[in-house]
Structure 1
């Protein structure tokens, strides 16, 4: 398994983004243009897509660890470029199905799952060559914190839903899978310092078990992990919470 670190939040490089990971990790970093947000992210995600595609073509399963969930767009694009038509299993406390038109905050990090379903917020996104994935091949796991427009969209869409504890093999879309895990899906009492903590979540153990049920299918083509914690905090919390969580999640 190849581990790729992408130390960015949207288009912002995070010099203090350190993974509590003892194994070998390759960093993907780019000189981004002096341009708008979407053009800058397109360059970054292109670099991720190229690296992921190379790994899959070489017969490896890449794992991408990043500072947000938008980098998953580059991971999915890379999977597609390698000729793999993957469905998506998306663990997240949030829905990530906003649009820039419905979002009251205007935060671009709230849209990636909607982008995978075909939403395109800016022409610059087209540069990635990302192909839309049918809604019924997208599975949102948890998604306990939804804004009204997100709830309305999900109620009317064919996007699948599951609680962490209930997730079983029969809930998964068919075929190859892209597995994405935003660590904020775990209750923030267990993993303090998250950017967008959402109370009332499942335990870390429950999330690890559910992720392993997905991995055990043998159908996961690539893994994306949103390490969405505050980069200005210590590299790890007392007791090595983050290191232990990543090791358990990724079986390392």
Structure 2
């Protein structure tokens, strides 16, 4: 793999959902040795620190059921501005969450630099809800819909443009918990999804090969958004919304290794590491190990 200039950005966001602790995810990942791991692989790493996230009283905004809307918009806008600057320098943004609502800001900043940004959404969930379809009003279940231009105007118009991605440029991998509104949107927009059924039946090798072939011909950059709850809770217990029957640790390493070999990615984020729910920082260590594979680490 060609050595990269990696800009590390932490986003201690816990306002997109209800369980406290995920704001400590960036610190847990740093503590697990992410900078040292990437530097040992020959990459240059610049740690830009953490985006400032306000901590208001948790509430619904008056005209919507969305929780903490204003604070999420503010944090997403700051992240989008930071990531856009990183891309303007030609560096590789590696974003550490924080809950998955941070992808709203990540994609807003990254997509500014591309005509046809591709997205690999490695997650147990589709994150395609809106205020109308969400059972909870939690914005961490909405970032992919928002990035498609579907949702509250304050969210979809961050950096004053929408949409950030096209449905035909998205691949979801690992889905096993979808709400009814999300299933309808997937069918309506023709979004490519590999559920756990496909992973079990086809194998991860085939899933990643098809995903790479699918995106390579239609995109000019690809962002990986990896939610640690995409993995089975036995391997990644420190997440806020665990779903049993997930992708294994080894399958995930294989996926990252294949993406590294393809040299397809132009940005990435790892989200939903919650140290309070974890076992001796196990999930952060898993995240760092997967980043190692993603950035070219091999046994031999």
Please give the range of the TM-score, normalised by the shorter of the 2 chains.
0.7 to 0.9
Match of 2:222? 177
**Bigger shift: 200-209 or 148-157?**
148-157
DSSP 3-state at the match of 2:242: coil
**Bigger shift: 21-30 or 231-240?**
231-240
> Are the aligned partners of 1:79 and 1:221 in contact in 2 as well (CA < 8 Å)?
no
How far the C-alpha of 1:248 sits from its partner, in A, is 3.6
> Taking structure 2 as the reference length, what is the TM-score of the superposition?
0.73
Match of 1:150? 182
> Are the aligned partners of 2:22 and 2:272 in contact in 1 as well (CA < 8 Å)?
no
Instruction: Write the deviation string for residues 58-97 of structure 1: whole angstroms up to 9, x where unpaired.
Output: 1211110111111112111111333554121111011111
Does 2:121 match 1:90? yes
> Are the aligned partners of 1:79 and 1:85 in contact in 2 as well (CA < 8 Å)?
no
Instruction: Write the deviation string for residues 84-127 of structure 1: whole angstroms up to 9, x where unpaired.
Output: 54121111011111111111222221111111111122435424
Match of 1:118? 149
Match of 2:40? none
Return the match for 2:104 from 70, 73, 90.
Answer: 73
DSSP 3-state at the match of 1:177: strand
More helix by share: 2
- CA separation of 1:136 and 1:15: change in aligned 2, threshold 3 A: closer
Distance in 1 (CA, whole Å) between partners of 2:270 and 2:51 is: 17
> Are the aligned partners of 2:225 and 2:270 in contact in 1 as well (CA < 8 Å)?
yes
Alignment of 1:82-231 (within 5 A): 82-83=113-114, 85-123=116-154, 125-132=156-163, 133-162=165-194, 163-164=198-199, 165=204, 166-168=207-209, 169-172=212-215, 174-175=218-219, 176-231=221-276
> Taking structure 1 as the reference length, what is the TM-score of the superposition?
0.86
Does 2:26 match 1:21? no
Distance in 1 (CA, whole Å) between partners of 2:144 and 2:88 is: 25
- CA separation of 1:65 and 1:250: change in aligned 2, threshold 3 A: farther
Distance in 1 (CA, whole Å) between partners of 2:284 and 2:149 is: 42
**Bigger shift: 126-135 or 92-101?**
126-135
- CA separation of 1:130 and 1:236: change in aligned 2, threshold 3 A: farther
> Are the aligned partners of 2:237 and 2:278 in contact in 1 as well (CA < 8 Å)?
no
The alignment covers a number of residue pairs equal to: 252
Instruction: Write the deviation string for residues 171-198 of structure 1: whole angstroms up to 9, x where unpaired.
Output: 3362211111111111111111221111
The unaligned stretches of length 5 or more in structure 1 are none
**Bigger shift: 172-181 or 24-33?**
24-33
Distance in 2 (CA, whole Å) between partners of 1:45 and 1:210 is: 28
